Structure 1
Amino acid sequence: MDFLPDFVPVDIDPTSGFPTLHLSYIMEILIPRRFVGPERIRDQVQKVFNGTQAIGKVDMKIVPVGSKAEGYNIPDAVFAGQGRIVFLSDVDIILANDKIQVCEDRFKMNDEVYMVHLDTNGVHPGYGTLQLIRKPKGDHFAVLYDEKMDAYYMSGTKYQTEFLNQVLEGSEEEREMYELHGPALQYQDNKPFTYDRRKEKIVNPFDHIHGFHCDDWPSVANEWTTRYRSNGWLSPELVQRIVSKGCYLVPVPHKRSKNPDVEWRISFAESEQMVAEYAVTNAQRQCFIFFKLLRYQIQQETSKKLLSSYCLKNVFLFCCEQLPVAAWDVNPGHCLLHMLDCVQTCLQQGELPNYFIPDNNLLDLFTDEDINTSIVLLDVMRSDVISLVLNFTDNHVLVYEGNGCLTTKVVFRSVIASVLEDVPTYIKTRNVVNSLTGAFLRTQCDIAVIRLRDGRSPFEYHKAFMDCFLSSHLHDIHIIDLFNLIGLNLGDIVASLKYFELLLQLQNVYPDVVKVKGNLACMYFTASQLLKSISGKELGRADELFKEVLAHEGVHFPTTIDYSNYLCHAQKWREAGLLLEQFVRFERKCHKCSNSYNSMESVTLDPVLQKEFAHTNLLHLSSLSLAYYYLIKAYTNLHLDFSDHLYDFDQHCASIQCAVDFQLLGYCYVNGKNYPNALKSFLKALEVDPSNDVAAQNVDFCEEKLAKEKIQNGSKWLSKGLVLVLRIVEMIVRNNLI
């Protein structure tokens, strides 16, 4: 496949104009890598065995093959609004007759174990004839004699016909469950499968075809065993294990075969299954499943046939060999688009080699019209991948084994609306971090709310966001930080409470989740203000959690400030004062803590702080400043002297030079009716932040207060002077009278 295009990662796809980052994120939400790992393969293989045994096909060796056995199948889907599940991939199996042993090595022909010899000469690459090593002792339904060659051959046509006849001789109910699909028979449960039946033991539709096992690795595939792979994707040990398994022969002749009755196709189904299970990564598998989903949708929309999924799989395997393995994890969106380009190149070149036997051009099976149709469909697909995805998800909800689905109640395009809206901005700025912490994070919040309303956990989606995206660009963020951030920004207090309570149940998985108790306490305090509960249970739960945090962590953390806010709200002034004194003594030495309040949490703040919040819709400031503010507030209500703390607060503000801190200092001076110092503080806030309208209003307030005081003081002096004049006049009058 030397003619394939070079892999050059880009952030904006030049063909579709869509960012590969956003495509990768959409792929991860729709087809999470955690759901398409090797364990899914093993689970599906076991289901194949269970299903075939359930219908009595156990007289031959069962070899699970195809997309289900390899984990490449599109997950089953629920039709939106109908509750009916549609199987988007069949189960494929080979029923191998292990009583007949096949070999290609001529030195084994004298071995009594082997009855049939595989001959790959004179046929299309990838096919062969099965010649009996010894003359049969009697007639056999599938044996043909070639007089010219004086040899006996196994006839694939006769072999498959006999199997079909055996099925047709069964009961009428059994015959109704079978349908001929090319050379294979399909078995299907004729009872509609709905989402409500998902926990029943249902046999998936499956195609089965008879075949034989060949102990030898076919010589026409020797190139694969020595092929140079620069990316180290396949280990030599795995290659050797695969070769030792040999291959299978199935009764499918090449479409242009001159002797179709005796020609068999070499099947590497077991080899492909081993590659899928032991070499293909979750990210690679995710990309290929997404590719198949696009193929399914464009065929539905156009009623035209694209190349078979088997052809696409061969291109996919070549890409796995050639692309850096890490590229699939880092930029799966671009890897997907590169695969589409590779298929398009193959069609234009008229050459699509079989992965194991490159001399076998798979396009030989297609007409020129088929190839031209595929080129047109790929052009449409390549120019607008996202529309196909959205159209598919408008009518389908993917369901994963044992994990349900993202949601059956919200259309996928609504879930990723923020991501789609972010595309024009990203194209202009190319700012990855802004997209991750903006639109992508909002989508995680939306997913959390949706999942919680459905009674499901959202944390696996958050962890995938962390592992696949955030950790690559924001190295100092911890998973608990992400959980906290999402929980605080759900925009729904009830959802936030559920979120944090559910998160606390994951301590065995994430021991550090105990750190969210402080935020959960704040959420309950917030809920008490928003929900106006008469019972007061939210306040009680808040108090309980705050005390647990203090007992576990001590008072030297931002949660102490949140608890102090709660205590001031409850007018527990002495308790608040004692707690804040401890905090101030420690925090003055290190100045490491800060507190933030969003719009939902702002309802817990007093009117003064709410005014500060309204200025920017986010209050973020030094925890020490808040500690001084609440401590002075507590001392005021306890009628205690706070002049020392006020002085320390003033020094602290002078050292950090932040507008909001100067504002809080000014409020404390106002509280003590010290308007000159209050004015100085508010002027400093305005100097640091000239656009601060609240500071400007406070300056006006203080100047007005000082002006009134000046007038009042002038009036007092005038009054005193008038009294003195009257007394003098009185004395003069007395003297005259005398």
Structure 2
Amino acid sequence: MDETLTDIDESDLESLTDIFALPFTVQEWDEEANLSLAHLSFIINILLPKRLITLDRDSNMESQLKEFCESKNIQNAVAVGSSAEGFNIPNSMTIETDSHIDTNCDVDILLLEKGFQISNSLVFRQETNVHATLESCDVHPGYTKVRVYKYKDNEDISTLKDKVYLNGKQKQGKRFVRFNLQSDKDDEKVILMHGPAVSVEYSTTLNAENISKYGLRTSLDIVLALPVTDWPSEARLWIERSKQSKWLGKEFVDNIVSDGCHVVPVAHKNSHNPDIEWRISFATSEKQIARNAIIDEQRQCYIYFKLLRHLCLKDLDVISSYCLKTVFFYACERIPKPMWEIHTGQCLIYLIDSLVNCVKRKNIPSYFIPENNLVDHIPYENWQALEKRLVQIRKDPISPILKFTDSRMIGKEVIPYVFRENISYVLEDNEKFKIHRDIKRSASYAFLTTSFRMSLLLLNSGKAKESVDILTDSYPTINRYLGPMPLNYYLNNVAILIEDSRLLLLLLQELVAMSNEQSEFECFRENLACAYHAVAYTYHEDSTERNEHLHKAEEIMIGEIHSNGLNSCGVMYGIILMSQKKFQEASNTFESIINEKDEIEQYTLAFGKSEQIFLDTDLQSEIATNGNIEARWVYFAYYFLVKCFDQKDKIPKLSIIFNDFQQICETSQDTVGFKLLAYSYKQRGEMCKAEKAFLEVSKLCPNDEFILTLITKCNQNMNM
């Protein structure tokens, strides 16, 4: 071990990491990008929803690795890198007739050789089982030589200045020879040597037709790795820095340190002895951090950051994705997790600014060993083009993504229209927000509208689950600005906006199916019955389809009443009975609700555009004007009871019902109650009483022009 490293002052290392000490400040508007950070956050969330970047999304990768290792009799293989960490860019598919799938990543494999023990200790004891120690003199920071003390005659070793060192190039080369170099005709697999790695690549282009045969395969890069039993002294200050940041926590840091590290046969680009130089690898430590310390919002932000690099910087071959991960880890140390959850867009800007700062200084300090500048081998002339492109990314972090998604879809669900069109309301509203700065207005006009439109497009394609996914993706953002509200309340409000009853039925069927896992979705069962009822009216009267849907609606309602009592869905049950001309049963149901009005006072019922098909013309006009009609159960119970009695010619009893109806409206001074009373009188031809009820509504809502129109019509009818 290089003893000079142990003498480095802690303040010197702090100066190395000061490159990442940019202040994190929350702003609603970024002048340089001419962009609302809330709008950017929403775009990131819609493009890369949490379900698309979850840790479990690449289960196929593990099975692929297992299959390959079993076929080659390989043991002690550990997946690391972006795919194993959940940091890989999701698969994308080209939007064309002969589409193909881009996996955008490969899988890094550490092939552990556990029979060879390496210690970091300067003191070597002959009686121990240790074969070698690390020696970091005359090497670039972050790299080492493996000095061997115990070895066999056929060991891969080299001698330098009378010292014996492990030859990484020879050792990795022997591993390569053991693999079968022939292509496999079944899946067109080829094994190649790329630098220090054995690469398993697939030449077949995946598309929608052959993916069922091959699965979502990714290339494998296999590198020999030797375990080091203890933590390298070069990285000891990372321990204190990590504990001070409070991001990882003392116990988690201690666990990482106790696992030690690895060395891999990779020399620094400017090494004088590349055959015997090894890189100190923290790949397994990084995997632990990625899988246990990163929240979904951090992952979303970082993958968007990686996608920008993939689209705008990869061809320059200056900044690797590992450099981006280093910048990201430093940012995680400095930015509290709640900030990532609420201000994802601001965090992305911070990542870009941090990378710009690094590039200006031509220094990206390794996360574990800051003295190791990850880019100090890059020729000076390569930096100018990189800086220029980074300036463009900083000024516009959205356009490269839009250009990419103009011809590709990220993820599995195929949403009609390209991403640019789907978020057009958000892009348009960004300019408006610059002026009005009302985030609630933007959340309602842009964020909610965008989610609803995308959900509706999926419903039209018969993809109910994906439709629900889109709505739940946007819920945290909508709830943050328009809430607080429970998820089921939000979904119900969205459902009311759906005009096509068949699409509403599709959505509600999916929500009820999900209630086994999400119990709060049980509340949609009554809505499902209502949707069946609405769809029934799209078929001819007395048709088999209509009767089947009405029967299904009644069946669901009976089940709800059996489980939760009449108060759970009594009004809608009565309406369904009326649709089947069961007026006596319906009137009994409504009267029961009225008799228990004190117990159900808090319950309300709403009808939206998709349900107006089975309502009378007055309620249809109300919904067409206001989007929906919502009232307490008892008002609807009186309203439909009047209709039942009218059908049954119970004229004497009607006067009693009207008196009770009017009395409860006058007591509560409820606007919608008076409206329903007025409509009831109007439908009975009692225009004078209808006008009086509408006048009560006008007193409560003096600026309601729709009501003024209804009053005028009542006057006209009375004068005819």
Q: Same fold (TM over 0.5)?
A: yes
* Aligned: 1:584 with 2:594: yes
Tell me: CA distance 1:630–1:206, structure 2 relative to 1, closer, same or farther (3 Å). same
Corresponding residue number in structure 1 for 2:191: 178
Query: Once the two structures are superposed, what CA deviation does each residue of 1:669-699 show, in whole Å capped at 9, x if it has no partner?
Result: 4455554433333333344444545544443
Tell me: CA distance 1:222–1:617, structure 2 relative to 1, closer, same or farther (3 Å). closer
* Aligned: 1:226 with 2:240: yes
Contact 2:111 2:225 in 1 (8 A): yes
Residues in 2 aligned to 1:672 and 1:254: alpha-carbon distance in whole angstroms: 91
Equivalent residue for 1:84, pick from 100, 104, 107? 100
Equivalent residue for 2:264, pick from 250, 253, 276? 250
Query: Once the two structures are superposed, what CA deviation does each residue of 1:72-107 show, in whole Å capped at 9, x if it has no partner?
Result: 111232232334222211111232333332223132
Shift of 1:707: 4.7
Corresponding residue number in structure 1 for 2:537: 529
Corresponding residue number in structure 2 for 1:107: 123
Residues in 1 aligned to 2:387 and 2:83: alpha-carbon distance in whole angstroms: 27
TM-score normalised per structure 1 = 0.85
Shift of 1:484: 2.6
Counterpart of 1:561, as a letter, is V
Corresponding residue number in structure 2 for 1:63: 78
Corresponding residue number in structure 2 for 1:285: 299
Corresponding residue number in structure 1 for 2:489: 481
Tell me: CA distance 1:212–1:670, structure 2 relative to 1, closer, same or farther (3 Å). closer
Aligned ranges 1:213-362 → 2 under 5 Å: 213-299=227-313, 303-305=315-317, 307-362=319-374
Tell me: CA distance 1:671–1:85, structure 2 relative to 1, closer, same or farther (3 Å). closer
Counterpart of 1:288, as a letter, is Y
Contact 2:471 2:491 in 1 (8 A): yes
Residues in 2 aligned to 1:139 and 1:693: alpha-carbon distance in whole angstroms: 96
Secondary structure of 1:385's match? Answer: coil
Secondary structure of 1:121's match? Answer: coil
Between 1:384-393 and 1:606-615, the stretch displaced more is 606-615
Counterpart of 1:183, as a letter, is P
Tell me: CA distance 1:684–1:208, structure 2 relative to 1, closer, same or farther (3 Å). same
Contact 2:452 2:471 in 1 (8 A): no
Specify every segment of 5 or more residues in structure 2 that has no aligned partner in the other structure, as ranges: 1-16
Specify every segment of 5 or more residues in structure 1 that has no aligned partner in the other structure, as ranges: 400-404, 709-738
* Aligned: 1:119 with 2:119: no
Corresponding residue number in structure 2 for 1:387: 399
Shift of 1:228: 5.0
Aligned ranges 1:257-656 → 2 under 5 Å: 257-299=271-313, 303-305=315-317, 307-399=319-411, 405-407=412-414, 410-452=417-459, 453-455=461-463, 457-458=465-466, 459-466=468-475, 468-473=476-481, 477-532=485-540, 534-535=543-544, 536=546, 537-556=548-567, 559-587=569-597, 591-637=601-647, 638-641=649-652, 642-656=654-668
Corresponding residue number in structure 2 for 1:18: 35
Residues in 1 aligned to 2:444 and 2:679: alpha-carbon distance in whole angstroms: 34
Counterpart of 2:140, as a letter, is H
Contact 1:34 1:282 in 2 (8 A): no
Tell me: CA distance 1:590–1:518, structure 2 relative to 1, closer, same or farther (3 Å). closer
Counterpart of 2:690, as a letter, is A
Corresponding residue number in structure 2 for 1:72: 87
Residues in 2 aligned to 1:306 and 1:657: alpha-carbon distance in whole angstroms: 72
Secondary structure of 2:262's match? Answer: strand
Query: Once the two structures are superposed, what CA deviation does each residue of 1:635-682 show, in whole Å capped at 9, x if it has no partner?
Result: 333232222322233233334445554344334444555544333333
Residues in 1 aligned to 2:104 and 2:50: alpha-carbon distance in whole angstroms: 19
Shift of 1:307: 0.9
Contact 2:444 2:482 in 1 (8 A): no
Equivalent residue for 1:187, pick from 180, 192, 200? 200
Contact 1:253 1:264 in 2 (8 A): yes
Counterpart of 1:648, as a letter, is D
Between 1:692-701 and 1:499-508, the stretch displaced more is 692-701
Secondary structure of 2:406's match? Answer: helix
Residues in 1 aligned to 2:659 and 2:381: alpha-carbon distance in whole angstroms: 87
Counterpart of 2:235, as a letter, is A
Query: Once the two structures are superposed, what CA deviation does each residue of 1:388-422 show, in whole Å capped at 9, x if it has no partner?
Result: 222222333334xxxxx232655333443443344
Contact 2:600 2:633 in 1 (8 A): no
Tell me: CA distance 1:161–1:195, structure 2 relative to 1, closer, same or farther (3 Å). same
Shift of 1:567: 4.3
TM-score normalised per structure 2 = 0.87
Residues in 1 aligned to 2:694 and 2:107: alpha-carbon distance in whole angstroms: 74
Query: Once the two structures are superposed, what CA deviation does each residue of 1:193-246 show, in whole Å capped at 9, x if it has no partner?
Result: 334444546653111223422223211111112225444221222222222222
Shift of 1:357: 0.4
Query: Once the two structures are superposed, what CA deviation does each residue of 1:528-569 show, in whole Å capped at 9, x if it has no partner?
Result: 233446322223323333333344333435x43334444445
Residues in 1 aligned to 2:110 and 2:566: alpha-carbon distance in whole angstroms: 67
Q: Aligned-residue CA RMSD in angstroms? A: 3.2
Query: Once the two structures are superposed, what CA deviation does each residue of 1:492-522 show, in whole Å capped at 9, x if it has no partner?
Result: 3222212222222233213343322222222
Shift of 1:32: 2.7
Residues in 2 aligned to 1:687 and 1:552: alpha-carbon distance in whole angstroms: 42
Residues in 2 aligned to 1:243 and 1:255: alpha-carbon distance in whole angstroms: 28
Q: Which of these two proteins has the greater Rg computed from alpha carbons?
A: 1
Secondary structure of 1:457's match? Answer: helix
Shift of 1:12: 2.6
Corresponding residue number in structure 2 for 1:722: none
Contact 2:182 2:190 in 1 (8 A): no
Shift of 1:318: 0.9
Counterpart of 2:452, as a letter, is C
Residues in 2 aligned to 1:462 and 1:670: alpha-carbon distance in whole angstroms: 40
Counterpart of 2:623, as a letter, is F
Between 1:251-260 and 1:200-209, the stretch displaced more is 200-209
Aligned ranges 1:190-209 → 2 under 5 Å: 190-200=203-213, 204-209=218-223
Residues in 1 aligned to 2:484 and 2:386: alpha-carbon distance in whole angstroms: 47
Tell me: CA distance 1:320–1:51, structure 2 relative to 1, closer, same or farther (3 Å). farther
Counterpart of 1:21, as a letter, is A
Residues in 2 aligned to 1:254 and 1:270: alpha-carbon distance in whole angstroms: 20
Corresponding residue number in structure 2 for 1:6: 23
Corresponding residue number in structure 2 for 1:715: none
Between 1:688-697 and 1:203-212, the stretch displaced more is 688-697
Counterpart of 2:136, as a letter, is T
Residues in 2 aligned to 1:550 and 1:437: alpha-carbon distance in whole angstroms: 36
Tell me: CA distance 1:100–1:465, structure 2 relative to 1, closer, same or farther (3 Å). same
Counterpart of 2:290, as a letter, is A
Contact 1:231 1:324 in 2 (8 A): no
Shift of 1:583: 1.8
* Aligned: 1:96 with 2:104: no
Shift of 1:173: 6.3
Residues in 2 aligned to 1:28 and 1:670: alpha-carbon distance in whole angstroms: 50
Between 1:471-480 and 1:384-393, the stretch displaced more is 471-480
Residues in 1 aligned to 2:481 and 2:198: alpha-carbon distance in whole angstroms: 51
Secondary structure of 1:507's match? Answer: helix
Residues in 2 aligned to 1:407 and 1:144: alpha-carbon distance in whole angstroms: 57
Query: Once the two structures are superposed, what CA deviation does each residue of 1:99-125 show, in whole Å capped at 9, x if it has no partner?
Result: 332223132342452333211122211
Contact 1:79 1:85 in 2 (8 A): yes
Contact 2:242 2:249 in 1 (8 A): no
Secondary structure of 2:596's match? Answer: helix
Counterpart of 2:430, as a letter, is V
Residues in 1 aligned to 2:573 and 2:482: alpha-carbon distance in whole angstroms: 30
Between 1:582-591 and 1:355-364, the stretch displaced more is 582-591
Residues in 2 aligned to 1:489 and 1:306: alpha-carbon distance in whole angstroms: 50
